[in-house]
Structure 1
Amino acid sequence: MTDGIVLTGLRKVYPLRGGDVVALDGIDLRVPRGAIHGIVGESGAGKSTLVRCVTALERPTSGTVLVDGEAVDAAGERDLRRVRRRIGMVFQQVNLFDARTAAENIAYPLRIAKVPAARRRERVAELLDLVGLAGRGGSYPAQLSGGQKQRVGIARALAADPSVLLCDEPTSALDAATTRQILALIRDVRDRVGVTVLIITHEMSVVREVCDSVSLLDRGRIVEHGPIGEVVGRHGTRLARELIPLPVTADSTTVEAAFAVEHTGEVFRAIGGIDGVAVAAGTVETLGGVRVGRLRLDVAPDRRAAALAALRQAGLHVTVAPGEEAA
């Protein structure tokens, strides 16, 4: 399968009077065509710079950016417009033209590309149907909900039939129910047209809901990466813990257990057979085709050493607060 996005040795340095700022520091990333890949990280990790380099809004200091085998970073001014048409963009703020209808907003990039009027109308109708807005083409942005506006934004990004769809915090301004609908739409669009999707987000719920794989950016470097099913199985890592959050409990519990199994019943039967251990809270989900969970456990002080040994023997990844292992 031809790769949709390939970044090799990507580095971006901003020279400043007080010293250089390294925004990206040697990014290597391969996103296969048709995959949905999430980029997560705290503010300042380099997510926005990464997007700008992929879209050639910024030229990298060094390294390469390939989209379906074509070097975006090396495109000259003559080729840059053509290359950018292969990349659709969806933003947190949709930025629709208030004085244009939904259909006119979607048609705008086609007008810029000088697509004939008849084909524009045909393509807009296709896209309105694709994003679930058939019959709403005549509505103005003020007449649409936040989720409907984002659907128009997705349709507009797909107007030129791009091979890559970049989504920069596409659901941050939406409520939970609308977020799920938009993520389902993104997955459906991928399935129906085969577009490669790169989602920049700080919301782990987005990654859990829709992504096939994920990368964690930290200070301009990818520090964790992989398919969702593999990442959540790396118990104790930052991504695994954030992708499988534990419920907040009133009591302070010093013992946690994590697992990735085919049948969760075996886990709970094993825990139930260990003296002095009880489940205080837990999260169990299926991510990337893997059944995974994290548990907070109450362990009787006089049974701690034996209980921890039994939990590990049962195949659970057990972590305890510093200094509590032999307490």
Structure 2
Amino acid sequence: MIELRDLRKEFAGVTALDGITLSVPAGEIHGIVGRSGAGKSTLIRCLTGLERPTSGTVRIGEVEITSARGAALRTARRTIGMVFQHANLLDSRTALRNVEHPLEIAGVPRSKRRARAAELLELVGLADRGGSYPAQLSGGQQQRVGIARALAAEPQILLCDEPTSALDSRTTRQILDLIRSLRDRLGITVLIITHEMSVVREVCDSVTLLADGQIENTGSIIDALSQADSPLSRALLPLPPSGRPSGTVVETLTTGISLDTALEAVRSSGADAHLDAGTVETIAGTVVGRLQFTVADAAGAQTLITSLAARDIHAEVA
């Protein structure tokens, strides 16, 4: 559905994107993560045709965005629905009329756009709030209206730019559940730009880490997590603070293994290991855990690592 090929973008000699090649299949929820300045915003602008890349191509479905001009580009942009960090609703319009707005611009007759807007508000759980103005809605409700508006023109892609960073944790979960539900019901492809790893863990099927305008890591969530030494794996599943352990520190990464099984493997190794910190989550239906142990000396640490490796548990001296 989304194909980027050797995408480069330079601004006055400064490289913002450096050879980005990425493929996102139809119906997938893909996360783009990276620190400030990594190139995320430039990537969005190239995807939507707001910026022309210096070289390379952007293809969405059968349309090559980089070569489209005029009416063809406007038509191509209608295949992309945008959801922003802040809903950016028009204060003078009700929720229903905010959802109608892109259809009104496209020249859709009033009766048809009114019916479509009502249908979408029901889809996002706001069937009874069509007559409410933005000031009468909570932040989560405003974001739901923004999502409904993004879906008005029946796009193939939902592009979400930090869609939950202005929301509390409970509302964030509700919005992510809604995005997943919409993907399942409508079959749309979703691209989420975010700095929140919790969002990626919660809803994404795959993820790409950008650093200095380049792809540092990309793949399915489980594949990314399984690369124990990668910055992306550590960011997706970080260890909580553990103080200052006295001894040799060993970290383990388990995929598809229960916590009880991992701890039993440690006990059966015979090493004098103490659990200092750990985090275990179910991500994409798979139990994933990162544990930190302190062992008295290097010899004991090696015994532990060798024993765990025999049980397909990755372990290394931190």
Q: TM-score category by the smaller chain?
A: over 0.9
Secondary structure of 2:67 counterpart: coil
Indicate the residue corresponding to 1:186 in structure 2: 179
Once the two structures are TM-superposed, the CA of residue 313 in structure 1 deviates from its matched residue by: 3.2
1:46-84 CA-partner distances (Å, limit 9, x unpaired): 000000000000011111111112111111112111111
Indicate the residue corresponding to 2:76 in structure 1: 83
Q: Distance in 2 between matches of 1:144 and 1:306?
A: 59
1:45-194 matches, within 5 Å, as 45-194=38-187
Match of 1:231 among 224, 227, 248: 224
Indicate the residue corresponding to 1:261 in structure 2: 256
Specify the code of the residue in structure 2 equivalent to 1:65: V
Indicate the residue corresponding to 2:292 in structure 1: 296
Specify the code of the residue in structure 2 equivalent to 1:215: T
Specify the code of the residue in structure 1 equivalent to 2:217: E
1:112-137 CA-partner distances (Å, limit 9, x unpaired): 01111111111011100111101100
Conservation of the 8 A alpha-carbon contact between 1:214 and 1:227: yes
Indicate the residue corresponding to 1:279 in structure 2: 275
Specify the code of the residue in structure 1 equivalent to 2:188: V
Match of 1:11 among 8, 11, 15: 8
Kindly indicate whether residue 243 of structure 2 is the aligned counterpart of residue 250 of structure 1: yes
Q: Distance in 2 between matches of 1:140 and 1:262?
A: 49
Specify the code of the residue in structure 2 equivalent to 1:272: R
Kindly indicate whether residue 301 of structure 2 is the aligned counterpart of residue 308 of structure 1: no
My pick for the range that moved more, 242-251 or 201-210, is 242-251
Specify the code of the residue in structure 2 equivalent to 1:281: A
Q: Distance in 2 between matches of 1:187 and 1:55?
A: 22
Q: Distance in 1 between matches of 2:66 and 2:230?
A: 33
Aligned length: 314
Indicate the residue corresponding to 1:29 in structure 2: 22
Once the two structures are TM-superposed, the CA of residue 233 in structure 1 deviates from its matched residue by: 1.3
- Runs of 4+ residues deviating >6 angstroms: none
Q: Distance in 1 between matches of 2:255 and 2:304?
A: 20
Secondary structure of 1:223 counterpart: strand
Q: Distance in 1 between matches of 2:303 and 2:25?
A: 46
Once the two structures are TM-superposed, the CA of residue 252 in structure 1 deviates from its matched residue by: 3.3
**Identity among equivalent pairs (%):** 56
Conservation of the 8 A alpha-carbon contact between 1:7 and 1:28: yes
Q: Distance in 2 between matches of 1:308 and 1:86?
A: 51
Q: Distance in 2 between matches of 1:308 and 1:213?
A: 29
What TM-score results when the alignment is normalised by the length of structure 2? 0.95
My pick for the range that moved more, 309-318 or 117-126, is 309-318
Once the two structures are TM-superposed, the CA of residue 159 in structure 1 deviates from its matched residue by: 0.5
Secondary structure of 1:247 counterpart: coil
Specify the code of the residue in structure 2 equivalent to 1:277: A
1:142-197 CA-partner distances (Å, limit 9, x unpaired): 00000000001000000000001100011110111111110111111111111110
Q: Distance in 1 between matches of 2:251 and 2:204?
A: 26
Specify the code of the residue in structure 2 equivalent to 1:259: T
Conservation of the 8 A alpha-carbon contact between 1:235 and 1:259: no
1:193-225 CA-partner distances (Å, limit 9, x unpaired): 111100000110000000000000011111100
Structure 2 residue ranges without an equivalent (≥5): none
Conservation of the 8 A alpha-carbon contact between 2:245 and 2:294: no
Conservation of the 8 A alpha-carbon contact between 1:257 and 1:296: yes
Secondary structure of 1:73 counterpart: helix
Once the two structures are TM-superposed, the CA of residue 275 in structure 1 deviates from its matched residue by: 3.0
Secondary structure of 2:66 counterpart: coil
Q: Distance in 1 between matches of 2:312 and 2:216?
A: 26
Conservation of the 8 A alpha-carbon contact between 1:14 and 1:21: yes
Conservation of the 8 A alpha-carbon contact between 1:14 and 1:23: yes
Once the two structures are TM-superposed, the CA of residue 277 in structure 1 deviates from its matched residue by: 1.1
Q: Distance in 1 between matches of 2:91 and 2:198?
A: 31
Once the two structures are TM-superposed, the CA of residue 262 in structure 1 deviates from its matched residue by: 4.3
Q: Distance in 1 between matches of 2:271 and 2:19?
A: 50
What TM-score results when the alignment is normalised by the length of structure 1? 0.92
Conservation of the 8 A alpha-carbon contact between 2:250 and 2:301: no
Conservation of the 8 A alpha-carbon contact between 1:271 and 1:278: no
My pick for the range that moved more, 159-168 or 273-282, is 273-282
Indicate the residue corresponding to 2:194 in structure 1: 201
Once the two structures are TM-superposed, the CA of residue 245 in structure 1 deviates from its matched residue by: 1.4
